[in-house]
């Protein structure tokens, strides 16, 4: 099958188009013919080797982290799907590879595709939808009447997170540039801060939850907008000891994550708030709940561009510019 492959880590080595074997089907797997795949900043970070300690892939590696497609075959223990079903998925982190014509995915990572969406629209949802859900609903326990700040509201995660937060009844503030203000307002943002000219930390206060997608200076400044007992949730790092425990990290990695997150955790303690890191995981049940929200009209995908499969390298380069509004998708 045709696929886009990483042979060696590093930006300069990039991706190559090549032929790879159709993946073997385990008894609890679903073999999916991929119609479209989402392209994410995570893909570039994996290609560059930024996650090689956390995610020790065996090279060559087929890149790609979310998809929509049609079930071709199912393993002997699969009960929820049959050939012909239209599905979408974020494969488990150790079995990625959606920049290809086929993939085998564990049944517990696959959900029926939202009926309201095309394949390209559906492929834009899994990674960012699960990230928003696990950060805001699961970790942040966001609820009606609370206030949440979502950084980079026009990005892939931001566009989904704004809609999800509005669905639960929260007041939503977001940061973006002037050219995307109308977009995030249409998605439901109540307060929009142009980060190119205004300081969000000087404007906002007493927030219950902050979803940080940026890291660095924005992460530390976010502590100042939270009320006592508030929650700062980061998806750009640094990883914390709880994450190390969840992933069953070695003692070396646990120590490294403890060290890397020490400064932000201590700063959070001084502000009487909590800091936690979320690295999104595959979850079919949550994808099913997201699909129901989409079909009910509560959430809609935001897609910037759809590239043909042959232009996967160009699609990834476009995502790396950081200028995409919502998601970039490749059509296979």
CATH number of the domain residue 267 falls in: 3.40.50.720
Number of domains in the chain: 2
One domain for residues 272 and 136? yes
Identify the weakest region by mean pLDDT among 158-167, 223-232, 258-267: 258-267
The answer, yes or no, to whether residue 241 has pLDDT greater than 80, is yes
Identify the weakest region by mean pLDDT among 98-107, 247-256, 286-295: 247-256
> What contacts 150, CB < 8 A, 6 or more positions away?
158, 161, 162, 165, 172, 173, 174, 175, 189, 210, 211, 213
What was the pLDDT predicted at 248? 82
What was the pLDDT predicted at 137? 98
pLDDT tens profile 122-165: 999 999 999 999 999 999 999 999 999 999 999 999 999 999 99
The answer, yes or no, to whether residue 249 has pLDDT greater than 80, is no
One domain for residues 119 and 171? no
pTM of the model: 0.96
Residue 288 lies inside a defined structural domain of this protein: no
One domain for residues 79 and 28? yes
One domain for residues 227 and 263? yes
What was the pLDDT predicted at 13? 79
Distance CA 296, CA 323 (A): 29
One domain for residues 271 and 233? yes
Identify the weakest region by mean pLDDT among 59-73, 245-259, 294-308: 245-259
One domain for residues 164 and 102? no
3-state secondary structure 277-328: ECCCCCCHHHHHHHHHHHHCCCCCCCEEEEEEHHHHHHHHHHHHCCCCCCEE
One domain for residues 221 and 110? no
Residue 87 lies inside a defined structural domain of this protein: yes
One domain for residues 207 and 110? no
What was the pLDDT predicted at 55? 84
Confidence of residue 98 (pLDDT cuts 50, 70, 90): very high
Residue 146 lies inside a defined structural domain of this protein: yes
One domain for residues 313 and 180? no
One domain for residues 191 and 241? yes
Does the CA dihedral 155-123-103-4 come out positive or negative? negative
Confidence of residue 104 (pLDDT cuts 50, 70, 90): very high
Residue 287 lies inside a defined structural domain of this protein: no
Residue ranges making up the domain that contains 215 = 127-277
pLDDT tens profile 173-185: 999 999 999 999 9
Which pair of tokens denotes residue 127?
């990674």
**Contact between 153 and 176 (Cβ < 8 Å):** yes
One domain for residues 263 and 319? no
Residue 293 lies inside a defined structural domain of this protein: no
Residue 310 lies inside a defined structural domain of this protein: yes
One domain for residues 109 and 40? yes
Residue 170 lies inside a defined structural domain of this protein: yes
Check which CATH number belongs to the domain holding 19 and give it: 3.90.180.10
The answer, yes or no, to whether residue 54 has pLDDT greater than 90, is no
Residue 289 lies inside a defined structural domain of this protein: no
Pick 25 or 257 by higher pLDDT: 25
What was the pLDDT predicted at 244? 80
Confidence of residue 310 (pLDDT cuts 50, 70, 90): very high
């Amino acid at each position: 099958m045709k696929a886009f492959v990483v042979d060696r880590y590093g930006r300069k080595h990039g991706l190559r188009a090549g032929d790879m074997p159709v993946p073997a089907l385990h008894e609890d797997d679903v073999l999916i013919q991929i119609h479209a795949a989402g392209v994410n900043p995570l893909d570039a970070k994996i290609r560059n080797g930024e996650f090689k300690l956390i995610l020790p892939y065996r090279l060559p590696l087929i890149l790609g982290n979310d998809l929509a497609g049609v079930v071709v075959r199912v393993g002997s223990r699969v009960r929820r799907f049959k050939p012909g079903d239209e599905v979408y998925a974020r494969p488990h982190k150790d079995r990625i590879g959606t920049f290809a014509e086929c993939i085998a995915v564990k049944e517990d990572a696959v959900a029926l595709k939202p009926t309201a969406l095309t394949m390209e629209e559906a492929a834009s949802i899994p990674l960012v939808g699960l990230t928003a859900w696990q950060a805001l609903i699961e970790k942040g326990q966001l609820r009606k009447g609370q206030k949440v700040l979502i950084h980079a509201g026009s990005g892939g995660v931001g566009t989904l997170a704004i809609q999800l937060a509005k669905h639960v009844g929260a007041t939503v503030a977001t940061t973006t540039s002037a050219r995307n203000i109308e977009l995030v307002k249409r998605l439901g943002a109540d307060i929009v801060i142009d980060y190119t000219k205004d300081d969000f930390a000087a404007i906002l206060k007493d927030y219950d939850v902050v979803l940080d997608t940026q890291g660095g200076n924005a992460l530390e400044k976010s502590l100042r907008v939270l009320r006592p007992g508030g929650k700062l949730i980061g998806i750009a790092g640094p990883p914390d000891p709880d994450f190390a425990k969840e992933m069953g990290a070695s003692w070396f990695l646990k120590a490294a994550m403890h060290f890397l997150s020490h400064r932000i955790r201590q700063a959070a303690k001084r502000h009487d708030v909590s800091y936690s890191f979320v690295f999104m995981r595959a979850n079919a049940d949550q994808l099913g709940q997201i699909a129901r929200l989409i079909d009910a009209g509560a959430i809609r995908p935001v897609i910037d561009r759809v590239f043909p499969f042959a232009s996967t390298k160009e699609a990834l380069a476009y995502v790396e510019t950081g200028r995409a509004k919502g998601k970039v998708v490749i059509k296979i």
